[in-house]
Amino acid sequence: MLSDINFVKVEVGVEQKYIPISVDMYDLFFSKGKRGLEALMVYLHIYRAAKRQKTNKPWVTIRYIASGLKIGKSKTMDLLRFLEKDLGVIEIDRQNKKERDTNGRFTGKTYIKLKYIMCAKTVRQKLGIPCTQIRVPIQVRNA
C-alpha cells in the first residue's frame, strides 16, 4: 500500500566514502621506494579501520592488518615500526603492555593513532563535494 510508505532524509557523508591522502603524504611514501609502498598499504588499511570506528585512534591488531593485506605478521610489525619511527605518521599506544594472560600473551589492546587525518569538513572542502541528502523509502507498520 502506497499510503504506508514514508520517506526520510538520510545524510550520506563524503568522509565515509573516501580515504583522502595529501600529495605531500603520497610523495613521502613514494620517496621510500618499495618499503614506502608497502607501508602505504598498511597506513591505508589502518585509515580504513579508523573510518569504520569513527576515530583517529582505531583499535587494530597485528593479525587484522596481516590477514587483511595478505602479508606476514613479522612484515606487518616491521612496517608499523617504519611508519612510527622513520616516517612519523602513526603513534602506537599499547595499553596494559606489561600484563600477560596465562599463555604469556599481552592482555592489553593496541591502538594506532593516525597523526594526520582529515576531518569531514576538510574532506568536503578539498573535494568540492557537499554532503548530499537522499530520500529513502521506509514502510511504517501500524500496530
61 plus 32 within the same structural domain: yes
Range of the domain at 79: 21-117
- Of residues 6 and 78, the one with the higher pLDDT is 78
Residues 43 and 51: their CA atoms lie apart, in Å, by 12
One domain for residues 9 and 40: no
C-alpha closest to that of 9 among 132, 108, 120: 132
Phi and psi at 48, nearest 5°, equal: -60, -45
Share the mean pLDDT of the chain: 78
State how far the alpha carbon of 76 is from the alpha carbons of 49, 83, 91, 136, in Å: 15, 10, 15, 41
> According to the model, what pLDDT value does residue 20 have?
76
Are residues 70 and 135 located together in one domain of the fold? no
Phi then psi for 94, rounded to 5 degrees? -95, 110
* pLDDT interval class at 134 (50, 70, 90): very low
Residues 93, 68 share a domain? yes
